[in-house]
Amino acid sequence: MTLPDGRLRVLSLATLYPNDSAPNFGVFVERQMQAVVRTGEVDLVVINPVGLPPFPLSWHARYRRLARLPAHEERGGVTVLRPRFSLIPAIGGPLNARLLADAVLPLARQLHAEQPFDLIDAQFFYPDGPAAVSIARDLGLPSSIKARGADIHYWGKAFGTAGQVRKAGREATGLLAVAAGLADNMAALGIPREKIALHRTGLDRQAFCPRDRAAARSRYDLPEAATVLITIGSLIARKGQVHAIDALAQLPGAILLLAGAGPDEGSLKAHAARLGIAAQVRFLGAVPHGDLPQLLSAADVFVLPTASEGLANAWVEALACGVPVVTTPIPGAVELITDPAYGRLAPRSGPAIAAAVREILAAPPPREAVLRGADGFSWEANAAALTAYWRRLAETFRSAG
């Protein structure tokens, strides 16, 4: 079914994908897909389903913004389609894969009839994965699912979804994981390890590089001589910003920048106030992805006391800007932070994080040494590997049929 010009035709499901109302929402998936299209080897259609609840919840401002998103959009050369599906916020998680598949299947059948696909792809394990497997089965096509971290660590164990994750993992033609440790986690759930290929994240190497430190600090009104820590990520318990604030209390005069938005903002502000360091913690809100290189360049250390990740893009982006990383000793981090110049792995507690930061500050690694931690990461390499994997999967499936 490959197109006459030799390109693959791929339909990819991605529930996490940027839009005009949430430009940072899954920006790493968009960067990957844009790089895939630039290879010229794939005719790609991204389906980014929009979940909308029933009335009266649908009148919430967030859902009204989603309802106004265009059903068809070209973003950075990528065709993005947004069919709507029903969801029940907070409690409807176990139903989402089935509801998503039911909403997407008619569109997938129509597109496949107009120009056949070679592969159905899912960019997250849940709810995208079970839906992709179901659609591929209906169309008689191979399916692939990518695991990124929380989709395995949470949905792979949660009541009502764990069985769906395992079933999709067993039935998919091929699987991807962003880190070897994540693949091991998948295998521990009962997903066949031999089906899982490693596909690491990418990096915009032109954007993420060291910037002038003095100019960066001036832009964000930061004292030139101060110790500056930065954390990037949604303000949710899993990311562990509370432990970064605890660490800050043990680093006199240091400043902590929190780039991100989320439901924990109020409790984090209250915690900093209780510790008497509210003036040292700066809540920046959701920072545009394009501003992150300069923001990172203003920092001495990047801190992410996360409970779980696959291989966090933010780790790689920090290293590419010459900023050493302090994070937890979870599998993806163990695979990346392999040299003291790249940073430290510390338990998820304020004292341990503060000690790791002090170690780095006592003997700051040369910037050139930190930069080596991001060697090999690029969106071009990521796209080439993904395209080659998709092609192998499609050809193997055709040969077996």
Tell me the mean pLDDT per 10 residues along the chain, length 401: 86 95 91 97 97 84 89 96 90 91 97 98 97 98 95 93 97 97 96 96 96 96 96 96 98 97 97 98 96 97 95 96 97 96 98 98 97 97 98 94 69
Q: Quick one: pLDDT at residue 63?
A: 85
Q: How far apart are CA 212 and CA 356, in angstroms?
A: 25
Q: Quick one: pLDDT at residue 126?
A: 96
Q: Quick one: pLDDT at residue 56?
A: 82
Q: How far apart are CA 351 and CA 354, in angstroms?
A: 5
Backbone φ, ψ for residue 130 (5° rounding): -60, -35
Half-sphere exposure of 160 (CA within 13 A, CB side): 9
What does the DSSP assignment read for 170-229? HHSSEEEESSHHHHHHHHHTT--GGGEEE------TTTSS---HHHHHHHTT--TTS-EE
Chain centroid to Cα 119, Å, comes to 22
Q: Quick one: pLDDT at residue 1?
A: 60
